[in-house]
Amino acid sequence: MARTVIDPITRIEGHLRVEMEVTNGKVSDAWVSGGCFRGMELVVADRTPADAAQIVQRICGVCPVSHVHASSIAAEKALGITISNSARIIRNLMEGAQFLHSNILWFYNLAALDYVNPLNALTADIADAYALVEAAGTSMHSDLPALKKKLEAFAANGQLSIFSGNWFDADDGTAYTLTPELDLICTAHYLEALQMQSLASEVAALLGGKMPHIMTSVPGGTMWVPTEQKLDDLKSMVDSIYNWVAETMIPDTLALAPFYADAFNFGKGCGRYIAWGVFDGPGWPYDDNYIEQMKNRYLPMGVLDESLSVTDVQEDLITEYMGRSWYKGSDTYVSPYFVTDPEYTDYNTDDRYTWVKCAAYGGKPYEAGSMARLFAAYKRKVPFIVEQIDTLSAALNARKGDLTAFESTLGRTAIRQIETLYVAQLMKDWTAELMEAIKGGDSTYFTPATTDSGSGTGFWEAPRGALYHSEKVSGGKIEGYQIIIPSTWNLSPINENGDHGPLEQALIGVPVGDMEKPINALRTVHSFDPCTACAVHITEPATGKHFETVTSPWGVK
């Protein structure tokens, strides 16, 4: 029995440490530690809900749009606002642009280098590579001979530029197994993805004024007013992104899968899934029925237990436990009665070892993220998702309707491309819908508040999963604010019952061939797309600064 540590985890947002105990070549225990420090919930105190919506975006530069929308929804629930139909469509477009940016960035530029070795592409046969492009049904918008020469120049210079610092030399028989030709194709797509995720950010900037940290989404709707030129630009960019995603991402996934089939056998996680839903659907508004609103989203809300049966969310089942994190006490708080009282002790896997709180639903850990959203959508019978998951299942020789086939490191990685294609298609649909709404005279983009006091919760999704913003407003000023981020769910430490969080459970059982470079563990971590910048919000012990205790304005329970 020995221990291996990955610290820091690279190619993620924020700072993350993973410590694993390895027995007989497999992980037998694991501890995931979030190590960055923030204070957004404190910053928004005594500010207006409009201020808060802009400030909380600064939690993260990858998914700021999701934070402004979750915060805006919380404010709208508190202040009696129902946004207009055009504002709903524009909000969906802004969110969709960010989802496309994040999903493309994650798949190619953050996770792909766990499977793709650009060095191996140096021996690729160009003719065979082009033949493989055609056989795999994927796209190619790059000059492969020129790319190969560029890689040769990198290697001859003793460096790989953006491809440096990875584990291409891991001493593990399952480390990197693609053919040189497929490595060359995927390296080309890695570089194309840099351009496509940038184009998705341009869409968000067109709608939001800039990106990251858009300026036009506010409680009450949007400050963005469409013009003919803006809509033409929007349509052109959306069409370009859709075409590339449709031609490239799922074919690449299917081309990679046979070379790493063993990654379908580990990395399951806790086997329970939670999604609040995202992209508000037609039939707007929903007569203040928040549950129906969440169920009728394009990616609908759903809580799935071990049997993968889907139920509606109950807010009072959401809890946070403090006993294994760097906060005072070992209490469990129930939504929205959360308390944050930081107290760093030391890193001790037998006691407290992370700044991430332990989020739970009904006392149990739940996984959030794209797979949770797609499972919920499949169970809610969203036609596009059902068709695509069934098609992908057949391509992977899995039984139709058997979602458990995706409960693994590679399954979690593969299924997310269905979401990317779905959102890319929806972006085309919403652009057309907005054009029709404007032609029909719908030019209302902002709705003012009807009161200056109240409480509300914004259930929404970031690309990484379920996002919760809750606020209490009194006299137009925020009296209390709480946030639970997707990675709070996924990176949760051991709970009061001794159960590991979702990522820790996914790591247990992962094969380790090289203790110094445990590549399969890294693949598993990246399959969750962690964001610890989002997961931790509270303190900065390095400066000696101690923030005051944050208690729920509803009273502590």
Catalytic residue among 67, 91, 101, 324: 67
Chain centroid, CA 17 distance in Å: 19
List, in sequence order, every residue forming a beta bridge with 459; answer none if it has no partner: 468
pTM of the model: 0.94
Catalytic residue among 487, 492, 527, 552: 487
For residue 358, indicate whether it is catalytic.
no
| pLDDT at position 84 over 60 | yes
| pLDDT at position 26 over 70 | yes
Catalytic residue among 60, 186, 270, 358: 60
Query: Amino acid identity, residue 167?
Result: W
The residues, ordered by sequence, that sit 6+ positions from 459 with a Cβ below 8 Å of its Cβ are: 70, 73, 276, 277, 290, 294, 301, 313, 466, 467, 468
For residue 142, indicate whether it is catalytic.
no
| pLDDT at position 554 over 50 | no
pLDDT in tens, 400-443: 999 999 999 999 999 999 999 999 999 999 999 999 988 888 88
Catalytic residue among 523, 531, 537, 552: 531
Contact 88, 280 (CB under 8 A): yes
Half-sphere exposure of 347 (CA within 13 A, CB side): 11
Catalytic residue among 66, 534, 537, 552: 534
Rg (CA), the chain: 23
- DSSP run (H or E) holding 438: helix 409-439
Half-sphere exposure of 255 (CA within 13 A, CB side): 27
Percent of the chain with pLDDT over 90: 78
Ordered DSSP codes for 98-154 = HHHHHHHIIIIIIIGGGT--TTGGGG--HHHHHHHHHHHT----S-HHHHHHHHHHH
Percent of the chain with pLDDT over 70: 95
Query: Amino acid identity, residue 546?
Result: H
State the Cα–Cα distance between residues 137 and 252, nearest whole angstrom: 9
pLDDT in tens, 149-174: 999 998 898 888 888 888 998 877 77
State the Cα–Cα distance between residues 177 and 374, nearest whole angstrom: 29
| pLDDT at position 337 over 90 | no
Number of Cβ atoms within 10 Å of the Cβ of 50: 16
Catalytic residue among 11, 464, 469, 523: 464
Q: What is the pLDDT of residue 260?
A: 96
Q: What is the pLDDT of residue 37?
A: 57
**Mean of pLDDT values over 20-48:** 86
pLDDT in tens, 379-406: 999 999 999 999 999 999 999 999 999 9
Tokens of 203: 């869409």
Number of Cβ atoms within 10 Å of the Cβ of 133: 20
For residue 534, indicate whether it is catalytic.
yes
Contact 359, 534 (CB under 8 A): no
For residue 186, indicate whether it is catalytic.
no
| pLDDT at position 265 over 90 | yes
| pLDDT at position 544 over 80 | no
Helix (H, G, I), strand (E, B) or coil at 97: helix
Print the SS3 string covering 333-360. EECCCCCECECCCCCCCCCCCECCCEEE
Q: What is the pLDDT of residue 251?
A: 97
| pLDDT at position 184 over 90 | yes
| pLDDT at position 351 over 50 | yes
Q: What is the DSSP letter of 454?
A: E
**Mean of pLDDT values over 349-376:** 96
